């Protein structure tokens, strides 16, 4: 670059080596029938899953089909608002656009009567006391704030029941 012939007005000016060009994307999201049932249920304080007619596993959120058997999951199952932490991490990283106060606990919660864990927050307990096997319950937003989103559940908190044996949760942890 040293042999580049610059006009006098640019001599001695620092070269541009990179520019930042932030990109923004807007999405239209089509949840489909199964996910719509799940989301509208959340606005009514209900957690709806679906059972596979072949393997009997209950999926939440339901995806309309069993990923293992490839068959429609039409039987709807209303799930309890309690579950067990199968594993978790304590997040100490904040980054642009996320906005959570750190540290926070991001946990995989296996709802009772379901067969696949949901990822959600665990609060109302010191982060260093969260453990695998801990029994938790959903804490909902106030009734007038309920919306068709998993954010209608603010977080999960310990419900005081004795821990479940983690070794029995194999495959989901």
Partner 1 sequence: MAGSRKQRAAIVGIGQTKHMSTRGDVSIAGLIREAALRALEDAEMTWADIDAVVIGKAPDFFEGVMMPELFLADALGCAGKPMLRVHTAGSVGGSTSIVAASLVQAGIHERVLTVAFEKQSESEAMWALSMPMPFAPPTHAGAGGYFAPHIRSYMRRSGAPDHIGVLVALKDRLNALKNPYAHLHEEDVTFEKIADSVMLWDPIRYSETCPSSDGACAMVITNEAGASRGSLPPAWIHGAAMRSEPTMFAGRDVVSPRGSRECAADVFSQAGIVARRREIDVVEMYVPFSWYEPMWLESLGFADEGKGWTMVEDGSTQMDGDLPVNPSGGVLSTNPIGASGMLRFAEAAMQVRGQAGEHQIDGARTALGHAYGGGAQFFAMWVVGADKPA
Which residues lie near partner 1 (CB under 8 A)?
Answer: 17-18, 21, 23, 27, 29, 31, 39, 55, 57-59, 66-68, 86-93, 95-100, 103-104, 106-108, 115-116, 119-121, 132, 148-151, 153, 155, 166, 170-173
CA terminus-to-terminus distance, the chain: 56
Which residues are CB-contacts of 81 (< 8 A; sequence separation ≥ 6)? 47, 111, 137, 138
**Which residue, 82 or 148, is less far from partner 1 as judged by CB?**
148
Q: Rounded CA gap, 78 and 93, in Å?
A: 35
Least spacing, CB of residue 8 vs partner 1, in Å: 27
Least spacing, CB of residue 69 vs partner 1, in Å: 10
Least spacing, CB of residue 82 vs partner 1, in Å: 18
Contact predicate 105/122, CB 8 Å:
yes
**Which residue, 82 or 154, is less far from partner 1 as judged by CB?**
154
Least spacing, CB of residue 164 vs partner 1, in Å: 13
The order of strands in the sheet holding 47-51 is 58-59, 47-51, 75-79
**Which residue, 84 or 86, is less far from partner 1 as judged by CB?**
86
Q: What are φ and ψ of residue 25, in 5° steps?
A: -125, 135
**Which residue, 122 or 158, is less far from partner 1 as judged by CB?**
122
Contact predicate 31/39, CB 8 Å:
yes
């Amino acid at each position: 670059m040293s042999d580049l012939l610059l006009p006098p007005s640019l001599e001695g000016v620092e070269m541009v080596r990179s520019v930042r060009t932030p990109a923004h994307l807007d999405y239209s999201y089509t949840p489909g029938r199964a996910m719509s049932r799940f989301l509208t249920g959340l606005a009514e304080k209900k957690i709806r899953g679906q059972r596979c007619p072949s393997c009997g596993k209950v999926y939440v959120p339901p995806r309309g089909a069993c990923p293992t058997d490839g068959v429609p999951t039409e039987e709807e199952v209303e799930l309890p608002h309690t579950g067990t932490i199968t594993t978790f991490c304590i997040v100490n990283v904040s980054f642009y656009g996320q906005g959570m106060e750190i540290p926070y606990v991001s946990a995989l919660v296996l709802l009772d009567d379901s067969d696949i864990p949901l990822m959600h927050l665990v609060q109302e307990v010191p982060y260093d006391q969260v453990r695998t096997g801990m029994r938790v319950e959903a804490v909902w937003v106030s009734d007038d704030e309920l919306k068709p989103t998993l954010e209608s559940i603010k977080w999960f908190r310990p419900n005081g029941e004795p821990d479940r044996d983690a070794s029995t949760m194999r495959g989901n942890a």
